Amino acid sequence: MSPMPDMWITLAILAVAAVLFVTEWVRLDVVALGVVVALILTGILPIEQALAGFSNKTVISLGALFIVGGAVFHTGLAAMIGDRIVRIAGGSQTRLLVVLMTATALLSAFISSTGVVALMLPAVVSLANRLRVAPSRLLIPLAYSALVGGATTLIGTPPNLLASDALRRAGYAPFNLLDFTPVGGLLLAACVLYMLLVGRRVLPDRQPQDAAQQATTPGELFVLYQLPNNLFRLRVQRGSPLAGQTVQESGLRQHFDLTILSVTRPNHAHEPPRSLAGVYALLNREQVETILNPPPDFRLQEDDVLLVQGDAEQMSRASAAHRLAVMAAEPVAEGDLITNEVGIAEVILRPRSSLIGKTLLEARFGSVYHLTVLSLRRPGVDGKLDLKRTPLAFGDVLLVQGEWRHIFALKRLRQDFIVMGEREAAELGAFSRQEKAPLTLLILAAMVALVGLNLMELVTASLLAALAVVLTGCMTMDDAYQAVDWKSLVLVAGMLPLSTALEQVGAINLVAGGLAAALGPSGPVMVLAGLFLLTALLTQVISNTTTTVLVAPVALATAQSLGVQPQAFLMAVAVAASMAFATPVATPVNTLVITPGAYRFRDYLRAGIPLILIALVVTVATLPLLWPL
């Protein structure tokens, strides 16, 4: 095939992928895999090159960093840091804004910005309520500082790693850990000053409509949703038709809309005591066992005590139909639903969630996510919504119950869900290895030191740190697998070959030549500004990772066509990819704060566009000093 048809085929693959990225009609990782397959089937790349992204150093580093970041959250270290930040901030709104934004950026320099905002969000909302300040005055600054923080170190965000990898593959020395810090630090200072001087005028003073968003602990949710009023204990009596049936066969959910949350079973497995020692052992033996969230194939027995959730009238009908004794003498308490193993949390549906338009039954929520939905609320809608028949919509708040590990597994489904209350869960001991928090901090610090002092490559140091958190018991290997955002890894690994293809068919050189011809006569600084604006525009509608994969080769080729060093151009692309300020759907960081801040789309435009222009000026003025053009 001649080069020109190859170029058109590759550009067609890029165009289809771009449309799917923007519309999200198909999952992003599926699109990336489709790109790989398309490149192979069309013969644009041989199989080895098309699959090379899965062995790329950046992809391996990202996977290891996900594990280290998971240990930071799993051990409660992140929650401890968040609490300390809030205490230092004090009661002054100005001081709170400065400390909050600075500390959030510092955290985001080393761990996921989305995780940092999810961690800080409940604490900031609670503090805003104490200070009688609308959360909308603090939450956009929180989100923006997390995004800027990612641009301050090499490991802060995937675009930085991708830009560094582009340098390495082109034969240049990759960026060091702190190469981003000067420009990132200036951007953070500019962001804080902007919020102090201008943000107070452009940010709305608006209270969230839904009071549920102001609940900050599982205990408060228990009271707010009036759970004691629709939770009941039922004992399976002798002769009950449910004895011997599975949970699914019992029909309690299908016919009576009752959900079994737990089964407490007497322990009859002991033998009669034959001595005083045997009597003592019997009296001190655990007499019951509790099965939390029993699976559909769990078989019920006589004397089982079922903790069920549902309507009182339906509960009475079920108890009469199936010989179930209502244990009114034992009221349901908070501790029955909230422990260090299980709990309740609010989950918000994102704008492009795959669940929108489906009912919970159609989405098979319980079987897919291993969680029970106890309540469904919709902002602006009063009254109770039918859990079975109500199609889900953007902004719906689901109160879910189940094991903490399943609740927070939803965090990885960033296209679908926003999970609230991680910090409060940590306070309950939901993260069972809090005693390992100091060790996790030591491992994280050692990894940063090894990379910062150039003693070890990032991929080696991150793999070593990931191995260390598992071997030292900071998290199990199963937890480590769950901590990895496989969707992001597949996205990066699948899009890297497209960048290679665009380069090989000449598309990168064509775009770079056009950019150099249009802006080159005005000097490399204007080209630098053009690259920044192009990247910043794309990152408002598609992920910063995809944006960097596509624009970094253009920046590299443009620098080479102008005969200048490429470091400044690539760093401009990486930094601009983090400036996703202008839309609430550009990044999960912005989406996290939209509902608790009661924001509207125009709030992001008013606050974000001026900040992008400020970032442009700061970046274009700073980078030529650090990396002469």
Contacts of 517 (CB under 8 A, 6+ apart): none
Q: pTM for the whole thing?
A: 0.62
SS (H, E, C) 389-432: CCCCCCCCEEEEEEEHHHHHHHHHCCCCEEECCHHHHHHCCCCC
pLDDT of residue 211: 41
User: Is there a contact between 226 and 278 (Cβ–Cβ < 8 Å)?
Assistant: no
- Across residues 212-218, what is the average pLDDT? 51
Give the C-alpha separation, 66 to 484, whole Å: 5
pLDDT interval class at 111 (50, 70, 90) = confident
Asked which of 287-296, 398-407, 428-437 is least confident by mean pLDDT, the reply is: 428-437
Per DSSP (E only), the strands in 76-148 are none
In 3D space, the residue among 525, 578, 615 whose CA is nearest the CA of residue 190 turns out to be 615
SS (H, E, C) 13-77: HHHHHHHHHHHCCCCHHHHHHHHHHHHHHCCCCCHHHHCHHHHCHHHHHHHHHHHHHHHHHHCCH
The partner residues of 326 in beta bridges, in order of sequence, read: 234
Dump pLDDT digits (tens) for 188-213.
999 999 999 998 788 988 776 544 34
User: Is there a contact between 448 and 107 (Cβ–Cβ < 8 Å)?
Assistant: no
Name the range with the highest mean pLDDT among 271-280, 289-298, 568-577, 595-604. Answer: 568-577
Dump pLDDT digits (tens) for 113-161.
876 786 677 667 767 766 778 888 999 999 999 999 999 999 888 899 9
The partner residues of 204 in beta bridges, in order of sequence, read: none
Supply φ then ψ for residue 305, to 5 degrees.
Answer: -110, 120
SS (H, E, C) 268-321: CCCCCCCCHHHHHHHHHCCCEEEEECCCCCCECCCCCEEEEECCHHHHHHHHHH
Please report the domains of the chain, with CATH numbers, ordered by start residue: 221-335 (3.30.70.1450), 342-420 (3.30.70.1450)
Interstrand relation of 372-377 and 288-292 (parallel, antiparallel or unpaired): unpaired
- Across residues 287-298, what is the average pLDDT? 77
The partner residues of 417 in beta bridges, in order of sequence, read: 349
pLDDT interval class at 76 (50, 70, 90) = confident
pLDDT > 70? residue 37: yes
pLDDT interval class at 459 (50, 70, 90) = confident
Name the range with the highest mean pLDDT among 98-107, 223-232, 565-574. Answer: 565-574
The DSSP symbol for 197 reads I
Contacts of 350 (CB under 8 A, 6+ apart): 394, 414, 415, 416, 417, 418, 585, 588, 591
- Across residues 509-528, what is the average pLDDT? 80
Give the C-alpha separation, 132 to 137, whole Å: 11
Asked which of 215-229, 250-264, 344-358, 561-575 is least confident by mean pLDDT, the reply is: 215-229
User: Is there a contact between 346 and 218 (Cβ–Cβ < 8 Å)?
Assistant: no
Mapped onto helix, strand or coil, the DSSP state of residue 230 is helix
Number of H helices, E strands in the chain: 29, 9
Give the C-alpha separation, 378 to 295, whole Å: 29
pLDDT of residue 66: 79
* CA terminus-to-terminus distance, the chain: 38
The Cβ of residue 251 has, within 10 Å, a number of other Cβ atoms equal to 16
Identify the helix (H) or strand (E) that includes residue 326: strand 324-326
pLDDT of residue 279: 41
The Cβ of residue 354 has, within 10 Å, a number of other Cβ atoms equal to 15
pLDDT > 90? residue 102: yes
The partner residues of 236 in beta bridges, in order of sequence, read: 324
* Two tokens, residue 482: 């769950």
pLDDT > 50? residue 283: no
Mean pLDDT (the chain, rounded): 82
- Across residues 239-266, what is the average pLDDT? 87
Mapped onto helix, strand or coil, the DSSP state of residue 330 is coil
CA distances from 3 to 47, 276, 411, 435, 554 (A): 19, 90, 44, 60, 18
* Two tokens, residue 355: 């669940």
